[in-house]
Amino acid sequence: MKKRWSLAASLILGTQVVSAHCPLCTIGAAAAAGGATALGVSHAAIGVFIGAFAVSMGWWFGNALQKRYIPYQKPALIVLSFVTTVLPMKPFLADNRPLYLSWLGTYGTTFSLDVFLICALLGGLVVTVTPSMSRKITAWRDGKLIPYQGLLLTMGLLLVVGTVVQLVA
């Protein structure tokens, strides 16, 4: 029992504060995606949250590593996290739709769009741009932060994008 206590204490006390992309954003995106599945939300809207979750996790792991092992380590981890999270879910959340372009070719051409993948990329883009948006908001407010500004901005934009995708899809 004493060894367990000392191990737990050393893990808790020995951890360093990491200036990483917000783990609350990661947990929030995962919870929102799970809740959306249970409520019967479209696969396109779920893709927004799955993509956001994947990019956020990759960003968080990239910032958590103190040492750089490979060039472009953080972007590589973000892409790896996206690929290993989104692609295995594609068979379960497939949402392919036709895109007919009448002006392409003699009789037109129809492409198959993977709406889940496109919306996952859109969710990842939202998570990628919100830190810079948060910095701009802070600069506009003369260096003053709104409590939980990054989390509110990220989740707010994800909810807006997810709602628009749900209504359009």
Q: How many CB atoms lie within 10 A of CB 157?
A: 18
Least confident range of 29-33, 41-45, 113-117 = 29-33
Q: Please, is 25 exposed, middle or buried when counting C-beta atoms within 10 Å of its C-beta (0-12, 13-18, 19+)?
A: buried
pLDDT digits (tens, 9 = 90+) for 48-63: 988 998 998 898 888 8
At 96 the three-state DSSP class reads: strand
pLDDT digits (tens, 9 = 90+) for 3-17: 444 444 444 444 444
* pTM over the 0.85 mark: no
Q: Please, is 169 exposed, middle or buried when counting C-beta atoms within 10 Å of its C-beta (0-12, 13-18, 19+)?
A: middle
